[in-house]
Copies of this chain bind each other. A is one copy, B any other.
Amino acid sequence: MRLTDQSIASVQSLAELRAAIRSGAFNDHTAGLAPGKLQCNIAILPAAYALDFLRFCLRNPKPCPIVGVGETGDPSLPTLGPDIDIRHDLPRYRLYRDGKFSDEVTDIAAHWRDDMMTVALGCSFTFERALMAAGIPMRHVEQNRTVPMYRTTLPLEGGGVFGGTMVVSMRPLRGGDVPRAVEICARYPLAHGAPVHVGDPAAIGIAALDRPDWGDAVTILPDEVPVFWACGVTSQNTLLSAGIPLVITHAPGHMLISDIDEDAALPIWKP
């Protein structure tokens, strides 16, 4: 189900939206939903790998900004909201076994185990909303496409069994909008922060902007420059490359909608 603008408007509260997701009534993208609430990339993994994964994320805060972490075996995330149950509260999940895609599901109650735990990372929706609010258009939104994402040669800091290179997302901007976009994004260190590169894609190992590794290519106009941000897919890519036995993530674009305000100084829910 894709909520139309009308049906989005009819969802009167975060509680109603979460109930719709939890029941399975809503299982589509979360872009634009619950405006102002922090949305999160999610990785659920065996606790035996979690210390290494937290090390990896802490050393690579631009692609992997940790905004929440669950207890082992506990599907709640009390610092992100009072009643979150990660087994049900994403619209759509992907399961990867031994580094290979296994299933896409709308609920993981059947896959949750007592040794699993959740790590929540910030998400680009936060800075995209801030940029659009400042009058800086997002081409992939205008073209109703998924933002294009690319593997790069930008090295990551290793952490235990995890490492590799950074995945970036690209948004074309007019040259005059670049400085303001950087300033705005820098205010959101928990949502990938300022861009990591502006201009020449080859300099960061991207061969062709019209052939993204994930998402869809978008039009770049003559007066525009490609701007690259550290991307949350980095963490998924790294988890898969490590080939660990089971990882559950959100399906692309199907994020956790938390109770945290995007502009909160700290991602800690308070009653």
Q: What separation, in Å, do the CA atoms of A154 and B26 have in the docked complex? A: 39
Q: What separation, in Å, do the CA atoms of A57 and B55 have in the docked complex? A: 13
Decide yes or no whether A202 CB sits under 8 A from chain B: no
**Copies of this protein chain in the complex:** 2
Residue with the greatest number of chain B CB neighbours at <10 A, chosen from A58, A72, A79: A58
A67 closest partner in B (C-beta): B58
Contact of A51 among B51, B61, B194, B268 (CB under 8 A): B51
Minimal beta-carbon separation of A106 from chain B (angstroms): 28
Mark contacts of A27-43 with chain B using CB atoms, 8 A cut-off: 1 yes-contact digit, 0 otherwise. 00000000000000000
Q: What separation, in Å, do the CA atoms of A51 and B79 have in the docked complex? A: 17
Minimal beta-carbon separation of A244 from chain B (angstroms): 15
Residues of B near A189 (CB, < 8 A) are: 189
Residues of B near A193 (CB, < 8 A) are: 265
Residues of A in contact with B, size category:
20 to 34
Q: What separation, in Å, do the CA atoms of A79 and B71 have in the docked complex? A: 26
Decide yes or no whether A66 CB sits under 8 A from chain B: yes
Minimal beta-carbon separation of A261 from chain B (angstroms): 16
Q: Is the CB of A157 within 8 A of B79?
A: yes
Q: Is the CB of A266 within 8 A of B61?
A: yes
Contact of A62 among B47, B157, B266 (CB under 8 A): B266
Residues of B near A51 (CB, < 8 A) are: 47, 50-51, 54, 72
Decide yes or no whether A59 CB sits under 8 A from chain B: yes
Decide yes or no whether A160 CB sits under 8 A from chain B: yes
Decide yes or no whether A227 CB sits under 8 A from chain B: no
Residue with the greatest number of chain B CB neighbours at <10 A, chosen from A66, A69, A189, A193: A69
A54 closest partner in B (C-beta): B54
Minimal beta-carbon separation of A181 from chain B (angstroms): 16
